[in-house]
Amino acid sequence: MDRIIDLELTRGEEPEIWTQKTPRIQAAQSANGRTQGPGLATPSVPGKPDGARRRPPVSQWKNILAHPLAGPLLQRLLLADATGPLGFPTAAGLLAADASIRDWPPESTVLHLAHPNGLLPAGTWHTWQRFVFTRRIVQPFKQIFREIHLPVGEETTGRTATSARFAGHDVFSARALAILGRRGWIHHPDEGLYRAFRNDDRCAWLAIDHDRGQKLISLQHIHFTRFGRNAAHVAPGDVPPRVFSETLRDIDLIVSVAHAGGAAPGPGQSTVAIRADLIRKTCRMLEITNVEIDGRHARVTGRLGNYRVHLGSGVAHRDPGIMIPLRTDPQHERGRLFLPFADDDPQGIDVLSRVLLLAHDHTLRDPVLARTLHQGG
């Protein structure tokens, strides 16, 4: 499936997919002698100082839905308004979590792509996750199953203007900067890295230390300002939840995949929670009843023994503590295991496949592993 931009969920602006097209859309439009399809561009607001684009009216969402290439992508994304999530767009209306079809709201209604931070107050996040999973909807990117980060401790009190959650981690500079660059971060030699969320009038800043040498950088604090030069700092607790979450999600990503020196910290709690939800829903769909989630582990009661699989690393142990030498191929499993999003998460696929493998330990075909488990490790 085409790799597409994460729309407003990551950029802080309105649907990037309409202006930063997938290769398939670009090829089709070039073949037709067009540079822009109907309903694919989101116009700027004339005279708006920060350059933010206005939110498209309801009719423009309908135009996008009717587009032969962009429409099928939009149908798999949840729309919301100021009151909360509404449904998945269809020609007949908005498909709600109870499978009913709602009428499209009035033309003046401001619609946007739902973010998990907006689903939490409504108490419907898990309801929509269950809906997507049971209907086997593969979203173009992580929307409903997106990791979120919330302010904690002093970040919520206003007593600190920064977040030091990832301070002190060393990362490989080339890899980290490449990842952040693809997610809209800009490297400023004197001030570190920053990312603009124009629609929210906020900028996120990551202070870095280059003293570790050319290949490494050391992460320092994160702080937020309003958009523009010499803007005042904003306390983490006063930052729009989506902006805070997307900022820390980016930094969590580079700490996980570009970490240098010593053991990598592994995925954060939000990633672990998403994997736990995927395991629960997969087991429910496959009618597997011998798997339970216990903190950062999936516990499996097999016929040949009891096991625990770490949701971060995928390391598996058989009780009382014997490591099991499991080998799985995430690329092979990618087409066999249903995931409700198109993003590649090879480690998540690996964890899920290990849990399912041990849940059916009596059917193992690997003679070495089967013999190991039959012998009690």
DSSP-assigned letters across all residues of 299-355: EEE-SS-EEEEETTT--EEETTTEEP-----HHHHTTTS--SB-S--HHHHHHHHHH
CB 146 within 8 A of CB 345: no
pTM of the model: 0.70
- Categorize the per-residue pLDDT at 1 as very low, low, confident or very high, splitting at 50, 70 and 90: very low
Residue that finishes a domain, picked among 230, 257, 284: 257
For all residues of the chain together, what is the average pLDDT? 78
Closest CA to 135 of 70, 78, 85: 78
Question: Are 288 and 341 in the same domain?
Answer: yes
Q: How many domains does the chain have?
A: 3
Q: How far apart are CA 299 and CA 151, in angstroms?
A: 30
Whether residue 140 is contained in a domain is answered as: no
pLDDT of residue 182: 92
Question: Are 107 and 58 in the same domain?
Answer: yes
- Please state, for a pLDDT cut of 70, what percent of the chain lies above it: 76
Whether residue 190 is contained in a domain is answered as: yes
Question: Are 187 and 121 in the same domain?
Answer: no
pLDDT of residue 262: 59
Question: Are 226 and 159 in the same domain?
Answer: yes
Domain, as residue range, for 195? 153-257
Residue that finishes a domain, picked among 209, 230, 257: 257
**Predicted confidence (pLDDT) per residue in 138-175, tens digit:** 999 889 988 888 888 888 887 788 998 888 889 999 99
Question: Are 119 and 194 in the same domain?
Answer: no
What's the helix, strand, coil split of the chain in %, to 5? 35, 20, 45
Section 201-207 average pLDDT: 93
Residue that finishes a domain, picked among 237, 257, 277: 257
Section 238-262 average pLDDT: 88
**Predicted confidence (pLDDT) per residue in 312-364, tens digit:** 888 888 887 777 877 655 555 555 566 776 665 677 888 888 899 899 888 87
Question: Are 50 and 127 in the same domain?
Answer: yes
> Which one has a higher pLDDT value, 268 or 2?
268
pLDDT of residue 263: 58
Section 247-255 average pLDDT: 91
Section 247-259 average pLDDT: 89
Section 70-89 average pLDDT: 93
Token pair belonging to 141: 């990117």
In sequence order, what DSSP letters do the residues of 186-245 get, joined into one string? EEETTTEEEEEEGGGTEEEEEEEEGGG-SSEEEEEEEEEEESSTTPPEE-GGGS-HHHHH
Whether residue 1 is contained in a domain is answered as: no
- Categorize the per-residue pLDDT at 298 as very low, low, confident or very high, splitting at 50, 70 and 90: very high
**Predicted confidence (pLDDT) per residue in 84-95, tens digit:** 899 999 999 999
Whether residue 147 is contained in a domain is answered as: no
